[in-house]
Amino acid sequence: MREVIQIGTDKHNGLYDITPEVRRVVKGSNVSDGIVNIYVQGATAGIMIQENWDQSVQNDVVNLLKKLIPAGVWEHDMQDNNGDAHLKAGIVGPSEAIPLIDGELGLSTWQNIFLCEFDGPRTKRTIVVTVIKDS
């Protein structure tokens, strides 16, 4: 089963919690045990599982990546000025796979699923959620 979700982003770099949307897709699938794959389409965004307790960890992720991969110094910047976004997205990666256990996401108490925006704001980011049932 596959469903596409879309969200807008309001920051150039930011993490956006998409856990509620993924849970809704999982619930609608009626799959009890299996795997859910969350994949963002686009070369300047990623998917990350991270702590959800407060905004500080999400801010730290954004700030770390800004320090490791500064804007404006990459060869690709001569094309469309977003070389850093491509590199950040490549390091984070476009997807995560999470086990489904008794119909629930196999996340711990402090884990949520985040869309990582590195080239925003965007009116639409497309995320493909695929639920695979254990045989």
CATH of the domain at 71: 2.60.120.460
Look at residue 2 and tell me if it is in a domain. no
Q: Is the pLDDT of residue 86 over 90?
A: yes
What per-residue confidence (pLDDT) applies to 77? 92
pTM of the model: 0.96
Token pair for residue 11? 């920051």
Look at residue 3 and tell me if it is in a domain. no
Mean pLDDT over all residues of the chain?
Answer: 97
Q: Is the pLDDT of residue 119 over 90?
A: yes
What per-residue confidence (pLDDT) applies to 71? 95
Look at residue 5 and tell me if it is in a domain. no
The boundaries of the domain holding residue 120 are 10-133
**Angle at CA of residue 81, ends 76 and 86, nearest 5°:** 60
Q: Is the pLDDT of residue 8 over 90?
A: yes
What per-residue confidence (pLDDT) applies to 127? 99
Look at residue 1 and tell me if it is in a domain. no
Phi/psi region, residue 42 (left: phi>0; alpha: psi -120 to 50; beta: rest), is left
What per-residue confidence (pLDDT) applies to 22? 98
Q: Is the pLDDT of residue 43 over 90?
A: yes
- Respond yes or no on whether the N-terminal peptide bond of residue 121 is cis (omega within 30° of 0): yes
Look at residue 129 and tell me if it is in a domain. yes
Residue with tokens 């108490």: 109
Q: Is the pLDDT of residue 135 over 90?
A: no
Please count the structural domains in the chain.
Answer: 1
Look at residue 122 and tell me if it is in a domain. yes
Look at residue 124 and tell me if it is in a domain. yes
What per-residue confidence (pLDDT) applies to 69? 97
Q: Where does the pLDDT of residue 123 fall: very low under 50, low under 70, confident under 90, or very high at 90 and above?
A: very high
CB contact at 8 A, 15 and 23: no
